[in-house]
Amino acid sequence: MSGPFAPKRVSPRRAVGLRPALQTLMLTTACCVPAHAEERTVAPRGGLEAKLEYCNTCHGLSGQGYRGYFPMPRLAGQSPQYIESQLRAFIERRRTNPIMAKVAQVLSPSMITGLAAHFKALDPMPIGGAPRGSLALGKQIFAEGLPESNVPACSACHGPEGRGQHEIPRLAGQLYEYTVAQLTNWSKVRAHGPVAETSEIMVPAARNLTKSQMEALAAYVSFLH
């Protein structure tokens, strides 16, 4: 781009540091655009495509997730029920994330349905990149659990292939760093705390996993497809 509105050049080091801020700014700007389809049964295709452009900024062109300064989760292949429930949780402030709360606030019910259907239909290969040294342990935790530590098998709820069901999320292909972060967060939540969406299963299970076990489990599911 040339002319008076051409962006100023920045050093590569500074450009890397600016990426998270720029992503936040783009998403915040997107949230300022009002939704005009509140009363429609089906969201206009143009409006849906515009929202998907914002989603692509962080979650990738195929919903495969993004490994950056902040790991962005894979949405591809998630069940519509799960995506819809999580967007409603952001809207109702039952799940806290400043960016996603603003993104979700402007979505009409029909737009939420359209977004959920779009991401369900995507099926890119997992990004991968997780360490492979403890995959056997991760598989054991996923398939069998750790009875001696009161950790149930993940497959009991998330399915033998980790693809989830209904409002239970898909784990297959999820970014390694994101899953580690989520398990770590679960482990810090009080079992009977004030968070409405706190799972009575996930909290004690995560608290009974060591850091190395979390990492092994996250690595294993990241390679599932």
CB atoms within 10 A of CB 169: 23
pLDDT of res. 188: 87
pLDDT of res. 14: 44
Q: What is the DSSP letter of 170?
A: P
Q: What is the DSSP letter of 148?
A: G
pLDDT of res. 45: 57
Query: What pTM does this model have?
Result: 0.76
pLDDT of res. 3: 46
CATH architecture assignment, domain 21-33+40-121: Orthogonal Bundle (1.10)
21-33+40-121 matches 135-222 in fold: yes
DSSP string over 27-82: HHHHHTSPP--TT-SS--HHHHHHHHHHHHHHH-TTS--B-SSSPBPP-TT--HHH
Q: What is the DSSP letter of 106?
A: T
pLDDT of res. 208: 95
pLDDT of res. 69: 87
- Compute the distance between CA of residue 81 and CA of residue 132 in angstroms, rounded to an integer: 32
Q: What angle do CA 107, 109, 113 make, to 5 degrees?
A: 100
Domain-wise residue ranges, the chain: 21-33+40-121, 135-222
- Compute the distance between CA of residue 143 and CA of residue 120 in angstroms, rounded to an integer: 24
State CA 91 to chain mean position distance. Answer: 16
The low-confidence residues of the chain, meaning pLDDT below 70, are 1-46, 190-199
Sequence-distant (6+) residues with CB within 8 A of 175 are 65, 66, 67, 71, 72, 73, 74, 127, 222
pLDDT of res. 27: 36
pLDDT of res. 141: 98
pLDDT of res. 21: 39
pLDDT of res. 200: 76
Chosen CATH of 135-222 out of 3.50.50.60, 1.10.760.10, 3.90.700.10, 3.60.15.10 = 1.10.760.10
SS3 172: coil
- Compute the distance between CA of residue 135 and CA of residue 127 in angstroms, rounded to an integer: 16
- Compute the distance between CA of residue 59 and CA of residue 75 in angstroms, rounded to an integer: 7
